[in-house]
Amino acid sequence: MSSFSLYLLGILVLVAGLAYVAWLMHVPLQWIGAGVIVVFGLGILGAVKHTQRRDRPK
């Protein structure tokens, strides 16, 4: 499994946990959905940034 897929798996677990806690706290579903989209988007950006290959100077 690549570093990128492990990073995304961790983000999915984090998002699921946060969404579940928000649901237990009776947060409205539209806010949970918005939070899931934002956190997942930030997770993808972080995964790409941390797993990209560095360009070698010529």
Question: Taking the domains of the chain in order of start, what are their residue ranges?
Answer: 3-51
Asked whether the predicted pLDDT for residue 55 surpasses 70, the reply is no
Task: Write down the pTM of the prediction.
Answer: 0.78
Residues 5-18: tens digit of each pLDDT:
898 899 999 999 99
Are 22 and 31 contacting, i.e. CB atoms less than 8 angstroms apart?
yes
Sign, CA torsion 41/44/49/50: positive
38 or 55: which leads in pLDDT: 38
Residues 23-51: tens digit of each pLDDT:
999 999 999 999 999 999 999 998 888 88
Are 13 and 36 contacting, i.e. CB atoms less than 8 angstroms apart?
no
Asked whether the predicted pLDDT for residue 54 surpasses 90, the reply is no
